[in-house]
């Protein structure tokens, strides 16, 4: 069974976007090509700042929701490697 990843990208305007994917590099290419999430389309280019491997889609979705619920300061800590 393929692993899932939770990722955080920093958009051109400095905002952070969190998502899940099986292939993060391919997903980043979609974001940067204007074919990703609606949120990132007007904020390209995006740069990967955090990635976590999860064992299932459900685990990735739970972690994505947890990250999205964090205050911006804590998300910035994740982006700086503060896991």
* Torsion angles phi and psi, residue 38, rounded to 5: -55, -40
Task: Confirm if 4 and 21 have CB atoms less than 8 A apart.
Answer: yes
Number of structural domains found in the chain:
1
Looking at residue 9, what is its pLDDT? 96
Q: How far apart are CA 73 and CA 43, in angstroms?
A: 20
CATH number, position 52: 3.40.1440.10
Ramachandran region, residue 34 (left: φ > 0; alpha: ψ -120 to 50; beta: rest): left
Domain span at residue 21 reads 4-79
pLDDT per residue as tens, the chain (83 positions): 679 999 999 999 999 999 999 999 999 999 999 998 999 998 999 999 999 999 999 999 999 999 999 999 999 999 888 66
pTM for this predicted structure: 0.92
Q: Which two tokens stand for residue 54?
A: 């999860």
Q: Which two tokens stand for residue 47?
A: 């740069």
């Amino acid at each position: 069974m393929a692993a899932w990843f939770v990722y955080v990208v920093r958009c051109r305007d400095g905002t952070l976007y969190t998502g899940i994917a099986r292939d993060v590099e391919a997903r980043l290419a979609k974001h940067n090509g204007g074919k990703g999430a609606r949120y990132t389309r007007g904020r390209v280019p995006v740069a990967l700042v955090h990635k976590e491997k999860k064992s299932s889609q459900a685990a990735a979705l739970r972690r994505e929701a947890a990250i999205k619920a964090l205050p911006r300061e804590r998300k910035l800590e994740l982006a700086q490697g503060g896991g």
